[in-house]
């Protein structure tokens, strides 16, 4: 009981003093690291990645990545301004790079630094597929998911420290706690937290690609291709940082009409031809 009270007090204090607002949900989120610290660190890491890899420039694919990224950024600005978050992107420094690599990957760092790997382009298949990926990755940055994951990791570390202090006089209880805490906190806490971020980024990404003029209905088709590329073996959803492919496909199909309705609010009712 004493440990429970200590843990509860710890969580209440750290969450209460460090909160931000998710501009897409209006909900309070954890923000133990501010953008003034997070963005410079992310920019430095991004530049380091660029120096360690071959960045493609001047090719049709590289130009497409930039073109789609700019359209998604404009869509984000329009959405945020219309929903009362004018100036939200003031400190963002958008950059879009295509890296030569077989990795099937793309990401967006806090502050708008985006990288696509050439290995994901065959699965994207076309510019609309790239827009679906771009919207999803940009959504992570806009919703401060990186900031929240760092904050959650701090809580996890803090709870572990609290448990060790509280049980320091009982070697047996301390041993059991240390053996089980990592597994339990990951399966019951960190992994569901991460999956929730992925689902949220899927929804926000659909809205952004729609406002940018790309058909949200194509996002589920992208994930059909992702599923085919991943093969038969996959990690059970409850042990994964991401929703299962099937869950994702069905969710994207269900959300597509909402995304098209959202795009219509910005005058977008016709979408770019798939190419």
137 is catalytic: yes
With a CB cutoff of 8 Å and minimum separation 6, the contacts of 226 are 123, 245
**SS3 assignment for the chain:** CHHHHHHHHHHHHHHHHCEEECCCCCCEEECCCCHHHHHHHHHHHHHHHHHHCCEECCCHHHHHHHHHHHHHHHHHHHHHHHCCCCCCCCCCCCEEEEECCCCCCEEEECCCEEEEEHHHHHHHCCHHHHHHHHHHHHHHHHCCHHHHHHHHHHHHHHHHHHHHHHCCCCHHHHHHHHHHHHHHHHHHHHHHHHHHHHHHHHHHHHHHHHHCCCCCCHHHHHHHHHHHHHCCCCCCHHHCCCCCHHHHHHHHHHHHHHHHHHHHCCCCCCCCCCC
CB 99 within 8 A of CB 54: yes
Catalytic residue among 137, 198, 218, 221: 137
CB 130 within 8 A of CB 164: no
Tokens representing 214 are: 């790309």
Q: Which residues are catalytic?
A: 137
């Amino acid at each position: 009981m004493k440990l429970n009270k200590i843990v509860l007090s710890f969580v209440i204090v750290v969450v209460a003093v460090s909160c931000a607002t998710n501009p897409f949900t209006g909900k309070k989120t954890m923000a133990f690291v501010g953008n003034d610290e997070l963005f410079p660190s992310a920019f430095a890491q991004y530049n380091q990645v660029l120096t360690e890899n071959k960045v493609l420039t001047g090719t049709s694919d590289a130009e497409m990545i930039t073109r789609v990224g700019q359209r998604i950024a404009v869509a984000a600005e329009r959405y945020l301004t219309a929903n009362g978050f004018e100036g939200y992107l003031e400190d963002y420094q958008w950059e879009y790079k295509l890296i030569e690599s077989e990795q099937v990957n793309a990401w967006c760092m806090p502050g708008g630094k985006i990288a696509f790997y050439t290995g994901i382009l065959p699965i994207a298949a076309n510019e609309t597929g790239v827009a679906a990926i771009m919207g999803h990755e940009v959504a992570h940055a806009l919703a401060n998911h990186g900031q929240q994951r760092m904050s959650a990791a701090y809580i996890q570390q803090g709870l572990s420290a609290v448990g060790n202090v509280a049980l320091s006089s009982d070697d047996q209880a301390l041993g059991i706690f240390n053996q089980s805490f990592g597994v339990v906190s990951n399966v019951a806490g960190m992994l569901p937290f991460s999956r929730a971020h992925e689902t949220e980024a899927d929804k926000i990404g659909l809205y952004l690609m729609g406002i940018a003029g790309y058909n949200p209905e194509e996002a589920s088709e992208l994930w059909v291709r992702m599923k085919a590329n991943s093969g038969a073996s996959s990690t059970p959803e409850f042990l994964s940082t991401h929703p299962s492919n099937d869950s994702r496909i069905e969710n994207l199909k269900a959300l597509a009409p909402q995304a098209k309705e959202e795009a219509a609010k910005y005058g977008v009712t016709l979408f770019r031809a798939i190419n």
